[in-house]
Amino acid sequence: MATNRSTTTRRTLHYYWQVTRKHFGLFAALMASTFLFVALLSYGNPCVMSLVVDRVSAGSVESDRVFAVYGPYIVALIAINVLGQAASKLQDYTMYKLEIAAAYDLATMSFDALCNQSMSFHSNRFGGTLVSQTSKFMSAYQLLLETITFPFLPVICSVIFTCAILAPRVPVYVAILMALLVAYACVSYYMYKRILSLNEKAASAQNQLSGELSDSVANILAVKTSGREDYERALFDQANRQVVERDSKRMWASLARGIITACITVVIMSVVAVFIAGGNAWYGISAGTLVMMFTYTYTVTNQFNFINNGLQRFNRAFGDASGMTQTLDEPRLVADLPGAPDMVVRDGAIDFEGIGFHYTDGNAKTTVFEDFNLHIPAGQRVGLVGLSGAGKTTLTKLLLRLSDIQDGRILIDGQNIAECTQQSLRRSIAYVPQEALLFHRSIAENIAYGRPDATMEQIREAAAQANALDFIENLPDGFDTITGERGVKLSGGQRQRVAIARALLADCPVLVLDEATSALDSESEALVQDALSKLMRGRTCIVVAHRLSTVASLDRIVVLDHGKITEDGPHADLVAANGEYANLWNRQTGAYLK
């Protein structure tokens, strides 16, 4: 477990450094301005003041010679403060600029990783959890950068300047002070390692809580119509209590670390009190040097006190980032070959040659296809039927490369889909699923999604062909109507017709319909069926259906059973053959006659 945490932390730093390196000028300016800010304001001022104290100790100065004697010190103090404040403002500027630039890059990195992952990846994760991980990954970089800039870099600067200025004057004191500070740092780091795992567990609990909330809100209709509000609240409360429990463990561990390091701080200040009290008598240390000793020790001790808070913020940052780091490290189950060309589809002939495919759920391996072969000529309309689990939808997902086959190859117009880019493949295939996939955007934007350069006239024409124009124009805002999340403001039939309009406008040579009418009422189904018949003209079509009336008019019907083709031919021939298809057909038509 410790190795995994360490690896995740290193990988998080790897991704953050990738982003930081792109803006290294800003990062270097931020570090330099912080170093200069601490040097001038925290150490320059006390150094000059110690010289003033020594000069005052040397004897009084006549009133008319004050500026002559102390003028250089006054000028030095003014210059130090002007430059120090300038460095402070440069620090603020570079910090803001770097955070803004890095946030953009990290958001893009996360979005690309999530969009390019396989459907298997997304099927096994809460969408809300992935959103939460992305947000935390971006925030963790900002927290990490601010922690390095404010507690840790000033600590390093304080140690360097304290040693450089005081070691020549009071070497024994500096040696004792550094030994105590090393002990302080070692204790802090040891306890940091212990708390790191608690932070990761707390972050995991937070992600789970976000996932539960997202899942309940996304399915709120099912929750309410089933009267399961109490059940969902119990699940949420269980996740919420897990957050409280893990946050409490993290809190107590952090408090324990703070108490131990506070004791070391008291020891350090006790040592400086002894040295200041007897420094002049024992070692002949000047008054100005005593002032510097106290000021610098107080400064460095205060800076070390921030280590506790800084390490806690480090813990939180790495814990929050761990989820997305693991996601970024997740191998892409479906990836383009380096330098893969775009697919160019003109006719749409499809060949499944010797297909072998299995999926693994936990340790269980399920074989779906083994040496599967199917040829679909260009322009042919093919229906895929069979009982649930026969492999119908899986075959369409393999065609779209939402999953990759283990054996064989899939060709479109003689081009191996595994050797072409995924985007060009999918832009050649119009896909209409059972549940229309709509964005929380206007109807016009949803229709034009596959062809964003379409004119309004083209969008209207596609809507008309999809039998969607009438209901769209009757909406208060027409094509500007926002559909709601997943199209929730529209009925099932309306959503499906918008999806068909999108497919019509995209004008792809290959069409895949996956149970596109099974969830509709009779009136909606008639409108959608009419729209689909227009959509299928002149295209190679694969239609998945349980309702056989949907495929009866197609050129060809392929019956699947456990990943194998058991029957293949036109509707009339299959009914006449009195086989499995005929049994399914008689069962369905018989049901309608009762």
Reference 34, options 160, 150, 205; nearest CA is 150
Q: For the CA atoms of the chain, what is the radius of gyration?
A: 35
User: Which residue has tokens 């399920």?
Assistant: 366
| pLDDT for 311 | 75
DSSP annotation of 482: B
| pLDDT for 97 | 97
| pLDDT for 289 | 84
Q: Are 283 and 34 in contact (CB under 8 A)?
A: no
Q: Is the dihedral of CA 48, 54, 58, 61 positive or negative?
A: positive
Reference 315, options 2, 9, 1; nearest CA is 9
Residue 13's pLDDT band, with cuts at 50, 70 and 90, is: very high
User: Which residue has tokens 């694969």?
Assistant: 542
| pLDDT for 486 | 65
pLDDT, tens digit (0-9, with 9 covering 90-100), for 244-298: 998 888 888 878 877 887 888 788 788 878 877 877 777 778 888 888 888 888 8
90 has pLDDT over 50: yes
In sequence order, what DSSP letters do the residues of 150-214 get, joined into one string? IIIHHHHHHHHHHHHHHTTT-HHHHHHHHHHHHHHHHHHHHHHHHHHHHHHHHHHHHHHHHHHHH
Q: 476 burial class (0-12, 13-18, 19+ CB within 10 angstroms)?
A: exposed
Range 540-552 average pLDDT: 88
Q: Are 507 and 451 in contact (CB under 8 A)?
A: yes
Half-sphere exposure of 430 (CA within 13 A, CB side): 27
| pLDDT for 280 | 74
Q: Are 556 and 382 in contact (CB under 8 A)?
A: yes
State the alpha helices, DSSP H only, in 507-548. 522-536
| 88 CB-near residues (< 8 Å, 6+ apart) | 33, 37, 41
593 has pLDDT over 50: no
Range 27-37 average pLDDT: 95
Q: 567 forms bridges with which residues in the sheet?
A: 559
- Tell me the average pLDDT of the chain: 86
Task: Please tell me the distance from the alpha carbon of residue 384 to that of residue 228, in angstroms, as a whole number.
Answer: 37
591 has pLDDT over 60: no
Range 414-428 average pLDDT: 93
| pLDDT for 94 | 97
pLDDT, tens digit (0-9, with 9 covering 90-100), for 466-524: 888 989 999 889 999 988 876 778 888 888 889 888 888 888 999 998 887 655 556 66
Q: Which residues of 526-547 are buried (b: 16+ CB within 10 A; e: fewer)?
A: ebbbebbeebbeebbbbbbbbe
Residue 1's pLDDT band, with cuts at 50, 70 and 90, is: very low
What are the φ/ψ torsions at residue 90 (nearest 5 degrees)? -65, -35
Range 129-143 average pLDDT: 91
Q: 3-state SS of 303-342?
A: HHHHHHHHHHHHHHHHHHHHHHHHHHHCCCCCCCCCCCCC
Range 565-569 average pLDDT: 95
Q: How far is CA 190 from CA 86, 187, 254, 344, in A?
A: 37, 5, 12, 59
Residue 342's pLDDT band, with cuts at 50, 70 and 90, is: very high
Range 164-174 average pLDDT: 88
Identity of residue 176: I
Interstrand relation of 510-514 and 429-432 (parallel, antiparallel or unpaired):
parallel
Q: Are 250 and 195 in contact (CB under 8 A)?
A: yes
Half-sphere exposure of 91 (CA within 13 A, CB side): 21
Task: Please tell me the distance from the alpha carbon of residue 483 to that of residue 495, in angstroms, as a whole number.
Answer: 9
Half-sphere exposure of 38 (CA within 13 A, CB side): 23
Range 369-388 average pLDDT: 94
* Highest mean pLDDT: which range of 73-87, 427-441, 505-519, 575-589: 73-87
Q: Are 212 and 239 in contact (CB under 8 A)?
A: yes
DSSP annotation of 363: T
585 has pLDDT over 80: yes
CATH number at 11-329: 1.20.1560.10
pLDDT, tens digit (0-9, with 9 covering 90-100), for 51-77: 888 787 777 778 877 788 888 888 999
User: Which residue has tokens 């403060």?
Assistant: 81
What are the φ/ψ torsions at residue 507 (nearest 5 degrees)? 55, 55
Q: What angle do CA 22, 27, 30 make, to 5 degrees?
A: 160
106 has pLDDT over 90: yes
- Percentage of residues in the chain with pLDDT exceeding 70? 95
| 120 CB-near residues (< 8 Å, 6+ apart) | 333, 359, 403
Strand order in the sheet with 350-361: 364-376, 350-361, 407-412, 415-416
Task: Please tell me the distance from the alpha carbon of residue 68 to that of residue 71, in angstroms, as a whole number.
Answer: 5
pLDDT, tens digit (0-9, with 9 covering 90-100), for 189-240: 777 777 767 777 887 888 788 878 878 887 887 888 778 888 888 888 998 9
Expressed in angstroms, the distance from the first to the final Cα of the chain is: 63
State the alpha helices, DSSP H only, in 509-579. 522-536, 571-577
| pLDDT for 523 | 63
